[in-house]
Structure 1
Amino acid sequence: MFNDNQRTMQKPIPTNFGPRTTATEALGGQDLTGKVAIVTGGYSGLGLEVTRVLVKAGAKVIVPVRTPEKARIAVESIPGVELVSLDLMVPESIDVFAQRFLDSNRPLDILINAAAIMATPLTRDSRGNESQFATNHLGHFRLTARLWPALKKAEQARIVSVTSRIGKLHQIDLEDPNFEKTDYEKWMAYARSKLASSLFSVEMDKRGKAHGVRAFTVHPGTIITDLARSLSDDELRVMGALNEKGERALPYFNDEFKTIEEGAATIVWCAVNRQLDGMGGLYCENNDIAEVVAEDSNPFEAGVYQRTIDPVLAEKLWELSEKLIDLQFAI
């Protein structure tokens, strides 16, 4: 199932970083002057911290926005951020956004697919795709496909997709990805969408590396952000994310629970750090490449399952994604 090169690469390297590393530290001292980045979700939570760090390092950052006023307020202290309308649930919106960027004739050095929705009630996009799968995976798949000419133009571009360990809990049903035949379960839907993010990076890297475009998947850790807006206090209490005052907060007693600055670190590391030069198609966490672990191990502990980075499943999902969005990703 896995070739020798893939087995060799998906293992930790000596990064000198760890779970408490911040996004600024994960830059590795990189000067990003002249680099162009697009960060979906870049005006909230982890994405906002990524935007701040990349801009401070000299990059030009474009942030797609679904709620312009909220975005404007969020980034007003970050100079030079370019806000452009985009709704990942609406194919036409994605196409307009991408074409506007292509018309600027700029290369795209960094694409960070961080926007997401989590554990939402069942809704569907205009094509009938379940909303979490549509937003977290299919929307980013279409966006990346439309931006491909700019990524290739950069010659050494990186694509970073944000996933979650919950993706280890379920398998994608290629015969019923949108819960048309089976009962909808919001956490299963979220897990499937995040597994799809990981598999996308595997196939994206395989197809893109000949053009200098490398792809990575990041599990950032567990952080309380606006992503949890659909969860009730009872659900958060069960997760241990509600303190004795009834506030939404996490106990930082292990390497999984992180601050926003720490949670954004592995995203930034994968996007720009030179330690990953010449590498790709990798699942990363805690500012390192994740170790492959047995599939009967605790899914909420560090490590990645082989099926989460299965190249055969990744190729099948890629082909299914093209059909679901009615668009061939031409590379």
Structure 2
Amino acid sequence: MNTNKYTFTPQEPLHTGFGPRTTAVEALGDVNLEGKVAIVTGGYSGLGLETTRVLAAAGAKVIVPARTPEKAKAALASIPGVELETLDLMDPASIDDFAQRFIRSGRPLNILVNSAGVMASGEAYDSRGYEQQFAVNHLGHFQLTARLWPALKAANGARVVSVSSKGHRLGGIDFDDLFFKNKPYSKWPAYAQAKTANALFAVELDRRGESANVRAYSVHPGSILTDLSRHLSDDELLAMGAVNEQGERGYTSYNDEQKTIPEGAATIVWCAVSPMLIGKGGVYCENVDIARMVKSGEEGQPNKAGVSPWAVDREAAAKLWTVSEQLTGVNFEI
């Protein structure tokens, strides 16, 4: 792999003592979040639900926005103090309305976890003609973060965590044809593009936000069977080793990549709260540590850890920021 064409953010593991079997509770440790405010998109399902549960148990006031709050209500019923809100990441007006309601509350925002997403879905576009995976996973969260910026800045020490994926290693961003206008749609390149965008967003947001004491991180949580895999066929899951002996969707064993939900949420929580990351940002993390850069020849090895250089390339991150402002019409004032 030729890394000379990239100007990437240093990826230097901290050797935290944690690992792939660390749970979110263990990653939290003894951090006290009393008086802190967190927003977790997708916080009522899968990894987002576990993140909500752990942050709330540590004392944080957690706001969970959902397209259908009534559906989320049942999932969150056992977590005291969670606020349910309405938000549709495919709808720019809904994003603005939610953010405005939060800003009007006058509260600082200490933690923003951009966890909601869609994976390997069929070809679909939003009302603007933007491909669904890119629109939901990246552009919606870009606009949301921009609108919440005053509250993030007011926290004087906020963190923004974007849930990316090792799926970014399937390919980078096609800036010349983001929305498959000149090539046939393919769900995995579309997913890779969106997940690369999540990582690049953290790179540029951290660069711009550091002076305001807002740090940003991207996370590969691992391969976890949640509702996110609903668009995958049984054959695809079987190839991934994600069909158990009973023929049901589920892993028969777990390795460093395949994880339980509490293990999958660990790196998200760690990035959101860990004192180990004070003074650090813009990095891609996995297995409760800063990930290393992949080595030449490892791209085709799915169980190898690491981040591809195009997902932490500073020049691509700056370009994506400009393109995202143009596509959303949002001038991200920092």
Shared fold (TM-score, shorter chain, > 0.5)? yes
Q: What residue is the counterpart of 1:2 in the other structure? A: 7
Q: What residue is the counterpart of 2:203 in the other structure? A: 202
CA deviation after TM superposition for structure 1 residue 192, in Å: 0.6
More moved, 226-235 vs 102-111: 226-235
Task: Return the alpha-carbon distance in structure 1 between the equivalents of residues 102 and 254 of structure 2.
Answer: 43
SS at match of 2:148: helix
Task: Return the alpha-carbon distance in structure 2 between the equivalents of residues 92 and 86 of structure 1.
Answer: 9
1:304 corresponds to 2:307: yes
Q: What residue is the counterpart of 1:321 in the other structure? A: 324
Detail structure 1 runs of 4+ shifted over 6 Å in the superposition: none
SS at match of 2:160: strand
Q: What residue is the counterpart of 2:173 in the other structure? A: 172
Q: Which consecutive residues of structure 1, in runs of 5 or more, have no partner in the other structure?
A: none
Q: What residue is the counterpart of 2:228 in the other structure? A: 227
Q: Deviations over 1:169-207 (max 9, x none)?
A: 112111111111111001111111001000000000000
Q: What residue is the counterpart of 1:291 in the other structure? A: 292
More moved, 310-319 vs 295-304: 295-304
CA deviation after TM superposition for structure 1 residue 136, in Å: 0.3
CA deviation after TM superposition for structure 1 residue 295, in Å: 4.4
Amino acid aligned to 2:315: V
Q: Deviations over 1:243-277 (max 9, x none)?
A: 12111102334110100000000000000011101
Map of 1:5-16 to 2, 5 A cutoff? Answer: 6-7=9-10, 10-16=11-17
Map of 1:1-331 to 2, 5 A cutoff? Answer: 1-2=6-7, 6-7=9-10, 10-299=11-300, 300=302, 301-331=304-334
CA deviation after TM superposition for structure 1 residue 233, in Å: 1.5
Aligned partners of 2:169 and 2:299 also within 8 Å: no
Aligned partners of 2:245 and 2:252 also within 8 Å: no
Q: Deviations over 1:112-144 (max 9, x none)?
A: 000001111111111110000000000000000
Q: Deviations over 1:146-184 (max 9, x none)?
A: 000000000100000001111011121111111111110
Task: Return the alpha-carbon distance in structure 2 between the equivalents of residues 174 and 259 of structure 1.
Answer: 35
Task: Return the alpha-carbon distance in structure 2 between the equivalents of residues 115 and 326 of structure 1.
Answer: 22
Report the aligned-residue RMSD: 1.1
Aligned partners of 1:28 and 1:274 also within 8 Å: no
Amino acid aligned to 1:306: P
Task: Return the alpha-carbon distance in structure 2 between the equivalents of residues 27 and 114 of structure 1.
Answer: 18
CA deviation after TM superposition for structure 1 residue 28, in Å: 2.5
More moved, 304-313 vs 245-254: 245-254
Amino acid aligned to 1:39: V
Task: Return the alpha-carbon distance in structure 1 between the equivalents of residues 333 and 57 of structure 2.
Answer: 34
